[in-house]
Structures are given as C-alpha cells and as structure tokens.
Structure 1
Amino acid sequence: MKVYSYLRFSDPKQATGNSIERQIQYANRWAEERGHDLDQTLSLRDEGLSAYHQKHVKQGALGTFLRAIEEERIAPGSVLIVEGLDRLSRAEPIQAQAQLAQIINAGITVVTASDGKEYNRERLKAQPMDLVYSLLVMIRAHEESDTKSKRVTAALRRQCENWMTGAWRGVIRNGKDPAWVKWTGTSWELIPERVTAVRHVIDAYKKGHGAQRSYAS
C-alpha cells in the first residue's frame, strides 16, 4: 500500500500558515500507525490553483494524479490523504462527486485529515450515508466559491462602469499581478531577482528547451 498526501491552496499566501505542516504530520502519523510509508515520489501540491475553476485538474498535481489512476500507475489499495473534500474540488457537485468516484472506483481510499473520515467502496457500501455527507460537503464548497466569484465579478463590473462614467480613475485589479513585478501605487517596478529567472526561462525556451525536453542549467 502506498500513502499519498495532496495539498492545495487557491491563494499561495495560505501556505505561510501551519496548515501544510499539520497535514504532513497527520499523513505521516496515519501511515506510520498502519505500518506504511508516506510516498514522496509523486509530488502532490497545488499552490495558487483554483478548485472552483478546475485549474488544479487542468494544469496541476491533482490532474496528474487522476491521469496516473487512468494509466493504472496508482495501485489499488493506495491511500490519498487530503485536508478536506473541498481541497479535492469546488466544482459543481455532480462534477466533484464524479472526481471522487473516479478515485474510489480505482480502489483508492480517500482520507480527510480534518475529520478523520475514510472513503472507499467497502465503507460506503456499509455506510451509504457517508456518500450523502460527502455530497453535502461538496455542495457547500461549491456554493461558497460560486458566491465569492459572483461578488468579485460584480465588484469589477461596478469599477469598470464607474471608470467609463468618470467616477473612478484608480487602477482596476483583475486577477493576480505577474510574479516578477510589483505595484508601487503609481507605477510598476520590476523585481530584479525574479526578472532574472524569467529571462533565463525565456532564453532556454528560445534555444528549444521546454516542457517536452529536460533542461539542466
């Protein structure tokens, strides 16, 4: 049996707390108490990727894990430990439930560190109400993210409308700023050490190095 730990934050600032350390400790303890080792070969960490917009599946570690399941590279009997079901998905409940089902139907147990619940075929067959509970958690997670998204969109729309009428002349912020610049309040400034790294990546890409080829600096 292999035990994996999956970590996700929609905002990288959340990583500055003790949530990561707490979950890693929980995962190590859970595996140790059952005589298993926490597998470190497959990195499962999505920082700054939204589960509402499914970016963690489209371009993140969870998507890699799901593809590994499809390719039968994750053995049945393995365990995936997450802080809560809302870390797996905040998509529409039917889609979130399908992703959980894909993992469970592959013979993998999902353990939620926040409440110690375990989800697998045997347990859900014996306690079907746990399936209902998981769906309720996913419904709540989606509604929270959906409400937040609508509020942000409405605020941006108001700012744009006010800018067009002349009532607003400030900077309209939409999304995240590029990691290599910072806003001083009046202008953008480059962050030297980050700009160097970005230019290095661009130069490597121009030389033909990229996602399909390994590059050693």
Structure 2
Amino acid sequence: MALVYSYIRFSTKMQMDGDSLRRQYQGAANFIDRGKHTLADLTLRDMGVSAFRGKNKHKGSLSVFLKAVKEGKVPKGSILLVENLDRLSREGINEAYRLFSDILSAGIKIVTLMPIERVYDKDSLTNIATVLEPLITFHLAHEESLKKRERLKSHWDERRNQINNKPLSKRRPSWIDWDDEKGFVLNKDKAKAIQYIFQRCIDGIGQKQILTEVADKFDPMGTSGAWTGSFVSKVLTDPTTFGQLQLHEVT
C-alpha cells in the first residue's frame, strides 16, 4: 500500500466533453482500490493544459506537485499515477526524460496504466531495458504534437489567405449579428447604444454617468445580461469599434 498522487491532464477543454476525463479518473480509482492504496489530498488536475511546451510543469497542477516533492512534502515511496507517460510531458526526449528521472530520483514511483501497467522507481534509471520504453514514448508523443501543430498552423494560414472571402470565425463584437447568408450584419439598435456611449464621452460626461444613462435607454449588451462599468470602459478603448482586425499567430 502507498500514498497515491493521481495526475490527470488533457490538452484542450473540448476533451472534457469527451471520454478522457472519465477514463483517466476511473483508471486511477480502479488502481487505488485494487492495491488498497490511499489517495493523497493534493488534487492534480490539468484540464485544458498543454504539455507540449511544459505549461503543466511550469504553471499547472504538476508544478504544484513538483514543488511539493522538492520541499520534501511528498513522502518517499509515494506513487505518481498517470494514464500514460505522455500525460506528464510532450516536450521531447531531453526535457521529458529529465522530468521523469527527477521524480524517480526523489524517491517517488511513477505508475502508468496504459498501454499496459508499468511501475517505475529509482532503480529503473539504471536499467537500459526499462528506460527504453519511456524514451520511445516521449519521442513519439513529441512527434505527434509537432504534426498536430503543423496541421493546425497550415489550416489557419489558409484561412488567413481567404480572409477577404470568408471570415476567420463567427466570433464578433456584441453589436454585430451573424447571418448564415449575409455573414456579419450590424445590429442597428445595439449600434445606437455604442454611438451614444461615444457621443456622451465626447460631451465630457464621465463613465459612471454614462453607465447610468445607457442602462436607462438601451437593453443590456454582452454576456453578463446587464450594463456594467467595465463594458462601457471596454467599448471606449476597443479598436473593434472602428473595425480594426489584428491578425496574430499563437506560438
């Protein structure tokens, strides 16, 4: 029996609607029950957090666990339980193996449930046959993420090339509606509210007073369902009010 730290991670929030969360949670629960282990109080969930650049290691729940290990708060002999090693890292062999070996060197075991159940401990680092599988797993995981990134980049590059013919997405300011045939369409009633905000600002009226007036004259806009000071402030500073589009790439 051991103290088990169950680590669950998936890269996109869309996976939360799929089977990834349930599968990882159930797999961990089955392992703990079968071995009569104890689940640690520390919750390790990185949902919608990528491991390709090590975000989970630097800012996610995994970083909390690593800090606890470094500070000696995780008892030696404890288990870090993951569905697969690619849940820990997709950074590539060097960074991924360094993370793997640092955890084992601290006296913490790593248990993986897929593709088959494996137990890695400090002694595993001196066994070339045992180490080979993690190295291959880390390499393949990184290569898969690279391919996904290139496919996604190519997709968005093409969408940018077609921007004069087709919008990048249906995301839009709250005073713009979407029509399946016409595309983006100005909502004239909401546009009047935006124009009113600017005009009153030009008149020298403060934002607090503008908020009071616009709430009396117009239906609320935005996702909150009510006029707010932050929305008025955003309108007055938002470049989309005069149609500016800033294309960018996320790296």
TM-score of the superposed pair, with normalisation by structure 2: 0.64
3-state SS in 2 of match to 1:46: strand
Shift of 1:72: 1.5
- Which moved further from structure 2: 81-90 or 50-59? 50-59
What does residue 207 of structure 1 align with? none
Work out the percentage of aligned pairs sharing the same amino acid: 32
What does residue 33 of structure 1 align with? 34
Q: CA offsets per residue over residues 28-79 of structure 1, 9 Å max, x none? A: 332333332111x211000111111222122210111111111111111110
Contact residue 27 and residue 38 of structure 1 kept, 8 A: no
The equivalences for 1:57-72 within 5 A come to 57-72=57-72
The equivalences for 1:18-29 within 5 A come to 18-29=19-30
Structure 1 Cα separation of the partners of residues 104 and 134 of structure 2: 13
Q: Which runs of 4+ in 1 moved over 6 A?
A: none
Shift of 1:124: 4.5
Structure 1 Cα separation of the partners of residues 52 and 155 of structure 2: 19
Query: Taking CA–CA contacts closer than 8 Å with sequence separation of 6 or more, which of the two structures ends up with the larger relative contact order?
Result: 1
Structure 2 Cα separation of the partners of residues 130 and 82 of structure 1: 17
Task: Read off the aligned partner of 1:171 and give its amino acid letter.
Answer: L
Q: CA offsets per residue over residues 60-119 of structure 1, 9 Å max, x none? A: 101111111111111111101101011100102110111111111111111111110111
Structure 2 unaligned residues grouped into runs of 5+: 172-176, 186-220, 232-251
Structure 2 Cα separation of the partners of residues 30 and 137 of structure 1: 21
What does residue 190 of structure 2 align with? none
The two structures, once aligned, show a CA RMSD in angstroms of 2.8
Structure 2 Cα separation of the partners of residues 38 and 102 of structure 1: 22
- Which moved further from structure 2: 13-22 or 92-101? 13-22
The equivalences for 1:206-217 within 5 A come to none
Q: Is residue 78 of structure 1 aligned with residue 78 of structure 2? A: yes
3-state SS in 1 of match to 2:66: helix
Structure 1 unaligned residues grouped into runs of 5+: 178-182, 200-217
Contact residue 23 and residue 113 of structure 1 kept, 8 A: no
- Which of the residues 192, 197, 203 maps onto 2:224? 192
3-state SS in 2 of match to 1:130: helix
Number of positions where the alignment pairs a residue of Structure 1 with one of Structure 2: 183
What does residue 144 of structure 2 align with? 144
Shift of 1:169: 3.6
TM-score of the superposed pair, with normalisation by structure 1: 0.73
Task: Read off the aligned partner of 1:109 and give its amino acid letter.
Answer: K
- Which moved further from structure 2: 116-125 or 69-78? 116-125
- Which moved further from structure 2: 94-103 or 66-75? 66-75
The equivalences for 1:7-156 within 5 A come to 7-39=8-40, 41-114=41-114, 115-125=116-126, 127-156=127-156
